[in-house]
Amino acid sequence: MTGITRRGALKLGGAAVATPALLSLGACSPSEGSSGAKTLKILQYEDPTTPQGIGWKRAVELFTEKHPDVTVDLQQTSFDAVRQSAKITLSGNDVPDVVEFNKGNADGGQLAAQGLLTPITDVVAERGWDKKITGSMRSFAQYENGKAGSGDWYGVPNIGEYVTFFYNKELFAKVGANQPPASIPELEALMDTFLAEGITPISSSAATSQGFNQMWIWYSLVSAYATRDEIDDFMFTRAPIDFNADPWRKGTHQFQEWINRKYTGERISGLNFEQATVNWLSQNGAMVMWNHGVFTRAKNEAEFDWGWFTMPGANLTMGSSGHLLGVPEKAKNKDLAYDFIDLTLSEEVQNLIGTEGGLAIAGDTSLITDDLSRAYAEGFTPLMEGDLLSFYPDYPVTGFLDFIQEHMQKMSNGNETADEYLAALQKFYDAGLGR
Amino acid sequence: MTASAVTTRGGRAPAPPRERSERPRYWAYLAPMAAGFLIIVAIPLVMNVWFSLHNWQGGASEMTWVGLGNYVELMQDPTFWQSFRNTLYMIVAIVVVPTLVGLLLASVLFNLVAPRVGERTAAFLRGSYYLPQILPIAVAGFMWSWILDTDGGALNAVLTAIGVASPPDWLGSADVAIYGIMLMLIWLQLGYPVVIFMAALGRVDPSIYEAADVDGASWWSQFTRITLPELKPEIFIVTLTALVGALKVFAPILILTGGGPEGSTVVPSYYAYRNFFELSRVGYGAAISNVMALLILVIAIGMLVFQRRATDD
In chain A, what residues touch B41 (CB-CB under 8 Å)? 20
pLDDT score, position A26: 37
| Identity of the amino acid at A365 | T
- Residue A19 in any domain: the answer is no
Q: Residue A25: pLDDT band by 50, 70, 90 thresholds?
A: very low
Per-residue burial over A55-66, b = 16 or more CB atoms within 10 Å of its CB, e = otherwise: bbebbbebbeee
Cβ distance A402 to B61 less than 8 Å, yes or no, reads no
Q: Which of A91, A402, A413 sits opposite B173 (nearest CB)?
A: A413
What total number of domains does chain A contain? Answer: 2
pLDDT score, position A402: 87
Rounded Cα distance, A159 and A137, in Å: 9
Query: What's the domain range around A179?
Result: 164-317+397-434
Query: What are the sequence ranges of the domains in chain B?
Result: 78-312
Does residue B133 sit at the A interface (CB-CB below 8 Å)? no
Rounded Cα distance, B159 and A121, in Å: 61
- The predicted-structure confidence for A266-306, as pLDDT tens digits, reads as follows 999 999 999 999 999 999 999 999 998 899 889 889 999 99
Q: What chain B residue is nearest to A405 in terms of C-alpha separation? A: B262
In this structure, are A137 and A176 located in the same domain?
Answer: no
Q: Which of B60, B148, B260 sits opposite A91 (nearest CB)?
A: B60
Interface predicted TM-score (ipTM) of this complex, two decimals? 0.77
- The predicted-structure confidence for A35-62, as pLDDT tens digits, reads as follows 457 899 999 999 888 889 999 999 999 9
Q: What chain B residue is nearest to A114 in terms of C-alpha separation? A: B61
Mutation pick from B37, B280, B289 vs chain A, by most beta carbons of A within 10 Å, is: B280
In this structure, are A357 and A416 located in the same domain?
Answer: no
- Residue A309 in any domain: the answer is yes
In chain B, what residues touch A110 (CB-CB under 8 Å)? 57, 59, 61, 280
In this structure, are A47 and A155 located in the same domain?
Answer: yes
Pick the CATH number of B78-312 from 1.10.150.80, 1.10.260.40, 1.10.3720.10, 3.30.465.10: 1.10.3720.10
In this structure, are A278 and A351 located in the same domain?
Answer: no
Name the nearest CA neighbour of B287 among B277, B302, B275. B275
In this structure, are A61 and A172 located in the same domain?
Answer: no
In this structure, are A276 and A424 located in the same domain?
Answer: yes
In this structure, are A264 and A215 located in the same domain?
Answer: yes
In this structure, are A326 and A358 located in the same domain?
Answer: yes
Higher pLDDT, A293 or A230: A230
Does residue B47 sit at the A interface (CB-CB below 8 Å)? yes
- Residue A20 in any domain: the answer is no
Query: Helices B177-189 & B78-91, crossing angle to 10 degrees?
Result: 40
Mean pLDDT of B185-192: 95
Mutation pick from B4, B70, B151, B267 vs chain A, by most beta carbons of A within 10 Å, is: B151
In this structure, are A98 and A47 located in the same domain?
Answer: yes
Q: Residue A10: pLDDT band by 50, 70, 90 thresholds?
A: very low
Chain B: give the shortest CA distance to residue A25, in Å.
14
pTM of the model: 0.82
The residues, ordered by sequence, that sit 6+ positions from B207 with a Cβ below 8 Å of its Cβ are none
Cβ distance A207 to B6 less than 8 Å, yes or no, reads no
| Identity of the amino acid at B283 | G
**Percent of chain A whose pLDDT exceeds 70:** 91
Write down which residue in A333, A350, A378 finishes a domain: A378
Q: What chain A residue is nearest to B277 in terms of C-alpha separation? A: A84
Q: Residue B22: pLDDT band by 50, 70, 90 thresholds?
A: low
CATH of the domain at A242: 3.40.190.10
In this structure, are A221 and A299 located in the same domain?
Answer: yes
Q: Which of A17, A84, A115 sits opposite B43 (nearest CB)?
A: A17
Name the nearest CA neighbour of A220 among A319, A361, A118, A366. A319
- Residue A7 in any domain: the answer is no
Cβ distance A17 to B36 less than 8 Å, yes or no, reads no
In this structure, are A118 and A47 located in the same domain?
Answer: yes
DSSP per-residue string spanning chain B: -HHHHHHHHHHHSPPPPTTS-STTHHHHHHHHHHHHHIIIIIHHHHHHHHHHTEE--STTSPPEE-TTHHHHHHHT-HHHHHHHHHHHHHHIIIIIHHHHHHHHHHHIIIIIIHHHT-HHHHHHHHHHHHHHHHS-HHHHHHHHHHHT-TTT-HHHHHHHHTT-SS---TTT-TTTHHHHHHHHHHHHHTHHHHHHHHHHHHHS-HHHHHHHHHTT--HHHHIIIIIHHHTHHHHHHHHHHHHHHHHH--HHHHHHTTT-STTTT--HHHHHHIIIIIS--HHHHHHHHHHHHHHHHHHHHHHHHHHHHHHH-
Does residue A375 sit at the B interface (CB-CB below 8 Å)? no
In this structure, are A218 and A303 located in the same domain?
Answer: yes
Q: Residue B306: pLDDT band by 50, 70, 90 thresholds?
A: confident
Does residue A84 sit at the B interface (CB-CB below 8 Å)? yes
Backbone angles phi, psi at A362, to 5 degrees: -125, 35
pLDDT score, position A218: 97
pLDDT score, position B24: 65
DSSP per-residue string spanning A251-278: HHHHHHHHHHTTTT-SS-TT--HHHHHH
Rounded Cα distance, B149 and B228, in Å: 39
Cβ distance A85 to B260 less than 8 Å, yes or no, reads no
Q: What is the largest CA-CA distance in chain B?
A: 85
